[in-house]
Structure 1
Amino acid sequence: MHPFVWNHTDQPRNPNYEKDIVYVTKHVKWILNSIGIWPVMLKTIGECLPKIAIVLSNLVVFFIQGLYVLHIILEQQDNFLRLRLLAFAWYSLISLMKFWALTMRKPNIKYCVEEMYADWKQVELQRDRTLMLKYGKIGRDLTIYSAVFMYSASMSYVAVMQYAVGSHVDENNRTIRVLVYPAYSGLFDVQKTPIYETVYILQCMCTFVLNTVSSGTCGLAALFATHACGQIDVIMSQLNDLVDEKFTFKKNYDPDTRLMEIVQHHMKILKFSAIIETVLQEVCFFEFVGSTFVICLLEYYCITDWQQNNKFSLITYSMLLSSLTFNMFLLCYIGDLLIEKSANVGISCCMINWYRLPIKTSQGLILIIAMSNNPLKISAGRIIYLSLSTFGSVLKTSFAYLNFVRSTVIY
């Protein structure tokens, strides 16, 4: 059986649905499969692999983060260097919480993926398929952009900073190989081979897991939100068909039945969007809080490295700052796109030639307009809605924190 074949009794109306599904989900599926978050759709021997990936990812992050935090608390005495190390500790904690939130929401993620697959199977008109592919491409491209920014910045940080830090000789004439994420040496001697190499490899794995969570969150939001936007465009095209002459002059055309189908489709999208909100509310809240503070610290690191003419560190921190800022921008852009597109359904009801419809049918449009008055939104913990104005608030708050940090450290 093909992996995209579902247990629905309806026969697929879209002969290209398998190819379309692969096109829009391929990249986010690759990302989330690596940490065990993408739902397994078929009961096969591979069911246990996501659980293994989740356990291993948690163990690696716990191990590296534990050594890192112990070093900050017990070994590092310089408060300025502690501040330099704080960004990764905070970022790893926030990413770990996002990972747990995604793990907890796996049943809801599976429901949304199943609904997506069902929509792709049942699309009939080539026009509707084109609209869905248009927004599917947007979600696919946003996922790629997020992954490229996050992985290139983080992996270059692990590689370039490791090279820039290098090694030094201590007062006992012992060569100290410095790790980019300093590790607590009270449990074992990190300088010994192969312990040093093992810890460094685990740090690379930890960085991969943390950035997979960040890019996977953005990819999942882009996949679901753009699918909802594509379905909304399909609804608007169906509303235009209500008064299209090539449909209204058909003998078996019933505008009331057609409007009922449109309302049912709209209600299905509203339910789908409510599940999206449930899936993303915790991870978006952690992203909102974490990005604000980490962006502030990275801005401070860039300023101090600029003043000290530390080129290697300045470049890597600038890349990290750009990747986190861009990732937060993508989430806010996705939320803004969903708000704008869902509000257009009510506008579309007003713009069609509704006066050509029977009176009872035209009155039914009021229900769709009323539902569109409350646009679909993605919230961060049901506290703040993601939009471009929210992105501006994140930047302003991070600059406010930056001024506070600078004044505290200087004085």
Structure 2
Amino acid sequence: MANERWKDDIAYAMTPFKLITWPIGVWPLQVYNIYSLLRCVLGTCCASLVVILSFMEIYLGCTDVEQNIDCLMLICCGVLGVLKTTRFRIYANSLINNYKSALNDYLTIVNRKERDIMRKHAFIGRYLCCSMLCFSYFSCLIYAIIPLMNYDQGNRNVTDEDTILMYTVPSRCTLEYFKFPKSIYRITILIEEFIMILTTTANLGNDALFLNITLHVCGQVNILRINFTNFDVTSPQKYKRFNTLIQRHQYLIRLARELADLISFILLIELFIISILLCIMGFQFTLALKVNDTFMVGKSLMVLSAFLSQLTLYSVIGNYLRSEMEEIGLSIYQSTWYSYPKEITKNVIYILMQTKSPIALEAGKFVIVNLSTYMSILKTSFSYLSVLRIMLEV
């Protein structure tokens, strides 16, 4: 019975993220062989192709303002996808250590209360990350359906040289430059849709993989806090049990530091890109409202929601990780520390000192990613957006 239970727990916590990241070769518990490398190369090439097509479309200069903004958005998504996939593959040991630790945690659950805490954090990870991904995949589908609908409604002949076609990824001029046949227009749309889905997976799928394991670490810190608070000083093996809690604390700090170091550079680039795109897409949304362009309003809202969800998840989970690490000290303070033997009390001091500088997700090692940073980015972006709106009205 217990064997079936932990199998169900592992499947519940990890299967969705395995299905998402296995196609791009970054699933930490996979066999790292030539086949996983080929999948990683495929995902990286698809994200790179989105960047190249969008950049060439801007360079060839046959796009309007709306398409230029779409190209810029796709370039940013592609760059983030390439960066995350390559970094998670090259520095895979950090994720492997964390996911193997999570696997061991599920195999060694000692009571129902700890299991409930772990299931709760697994549920939060599944719900938040999968909701973000489902919305993004739906947006990709819309980007493929719109060109096909316009093509079918116009009843155009794809062999006509004067036909102006729309594509999932803005690439009309680029494909014409390379003399790509218009006779396979629908197949081209499907291929670009596949490329878009893999690019989205390389970007947001890697985010989901990282945020899920970060939430698991937060759950383990939560369990450790409870163990510190409820520590029984009258137990016969109190020294051994307290040393076990100290070692667990050190181990969780090491796991959290590995995650923070892995994501540091990525977060720096991501925060910079999202800040710029919030201004640009917000300006496009304001302009669309002014001219009553319903299609543009919907598309702008869709893109804004995707980027805001990324920023929100990193900020909320980063803030949660930092607060959980800080509250280790509070949990010890709320315990009966005054009745501990002298040997244990000495160790309590060192734990309290460590909680003064808790592990946190940082962008470039100098910007802590939490709710305060989130509000600062939103305020700055909306300030620039207000200036742009005033310029538009003038």
Return closer, same or farther for 1:81/1:27 CA change in 2, 3 Å cut-off.
Answer: closer
Paired with 1:176 and 1:255, the residues of 2 have a C-alpha distance of: 77
CA contact (8 A) 2:85 2:206 kept: no
Equivalent position SS for 1:175: coil
Residue 318 of structure 1 and its aligned partner are, at CA, apart by 0.8
Residue 270 of structure 1 and its aligned partner are, at CA, apart by 0.5
Return closer, same or farther for 1:400/1:313 CA change in 2, 3 Å cut-off.
Answer: same
CA contact (8 A) 2:228 2:332 kept: yes
Paired residue type of 1:100: T
Return closer, same or farther for 1:84/1:182 CA change in 2, 3 Å cut-off.
Answer: closer
Residue 70 of structure 1 and its aligned partner are, at CA, apart by 1.4
Paired residue type of 1:123: I
**Is 1:87 the counterpart of 2:73 in the alignment?**
yes
CA contact (8 A) 1:64 1:202 kept: no
1:344 to 327, 334, 342: 327
CA contact (8 A) 2:144 2:189 kept: no
**Is 1:110 the counterpart of 2:100 in the alignment?**
no
The answer to which structure has the higher helix fraction is 2
**Is 1:178 the counterpart of 2:161 in the alignment?**
no
2:15 to 26, 29, 47: 26
In structure 2, what is the equivalent of residue 66 of structure 1?
52
Return closer, same or farther for 1:228/1:39 CA change in 2, 3 Å cut-off.
Answer: closer
Return closer, same or farther for 1:81/1:154 CA change in 2, 3 Å cut-off.
Answer: closer
Return closer, same or farther for 1:297/1:163 CA change in 2, 3 Å cut-off.
Answer: farther
The superposition leaves residues 78-113 of structure 1 with CA deviations (integer Å, 9 ceiling, x where unpaired) of 567535542222332233223322222223211221
Paired with 2:345 and 2:247, the residues of 1 have a C-alpha distance of: 16
In structure 1, what is the equivalent of residue 128 of structure 2?
142
Paired with 2:267 and 2:176, the residues of 1 have a C-alpha distance of: 36
The superposition leaves residues 97-135 of structure 1 with CA deviations (integer Å, 9 ceiling, x where unpaired) of 233222222232112211211222223233222222222
Residue 33 of structure 1 and its aligned partner are, at CA, apart by 1.0
1:123 to 109, 124, 127: 109
Return closer, same or farther for 1:402/1:104 CA change in 2, 3 Å cut-off.
Answer: farther
Q: Which deviates further from its counterpart, 200-209 or 120-129?
A: 120-129
Equivalent position SS for 1:376: coil
Q: How does 1:325-336 map to 2 (within 5 A)?
A: 325-336=308-319
Q: Which deviates further from its counterpart, 104-113 or 323-332?
A: 104-113
Output the TM-score relative to the length of structure 1: 0.85
Residue 408 of structure 1 and its aligned partner are, at CA, apart by 7.4
Paired with 1:161 and 1:309, the residues of 2 have a C-alpha distance of: 21
Q: Which deviates further from its counterpart, 24-33 or 129-138?
A: 129-138
Equivalent position SS for 2:164: strand
In structure 1, what is the equivalent of residue 220 of structure 2?
231
Return closer, same or farther for 1:190/1:305 CA change in 2, 3 Å cut-off.
Answer: farther
In structure 2, what is the equivalent of residue 280 of structure 1?
263
In structure 2, what is the equivalent of residue 197 of structure 1?
186
Return closer, same or farther for 1:159/1:285 CA change in 2, 3 Å cut-off.
Answer: farther
CA contact (8 A) 2:44 2:81 kept: no
Count of aligned pairs between the two proteins: 388
For structure 1, list consecutive stretches of 5 or more residues without a partner in the other structure: 1-12
CA contact (8 A) 2:311 2:374 kept: yes
Percent identical among aligned pairs is 20
In structure 2, what is the equivalent of residue 35 of structure 1?
24
Residue 41 of structure 1 and its aligned partner are, at CA, apart by 4.1
In structure 2, what is the equivalent of residue 9 of structure 1?
none
In structure 1, what is the equivalent of residue 210 of structure 2?
221
Paired residue type of 1:135: H
Q: How does 1:242-321 map to 2 (within 5 A)?
A: 242-243=231-232, 248=234, 253-321=236-304
Paired residue type of 2:53: L
In structure 2, what is the equivalent of residue 3 of structure 1?
none
Paired residue type of 1:231: Q
1:395 to 367, 378, 381: 378
Residue 266 of structure 1 and its aligned partner are, at CA, apart by 0.3
**Is 1:154 the counterpart of 2:145 in the alignment?**
no
The superposition leaves residues 172-191 of structure 1 with CA deviations (integer Å, 9 ceiling, x where unpaired) of 98332222433114543346
CA contact (8 A) 2:55 2:71 kept: no
In structure 2, what is the equivalent of residue 353 of structure 1?
336
In structure 2, what is the equivalent of residue 378 of structure 1?
361
Residue 351 of structure 1 and its aligned partner are, at CA, apart by 0.6
CA contact (8 A) 2:50 2:75 kept: no
In structure 2, what is the equivalent of residue 188 of structure 1?
178
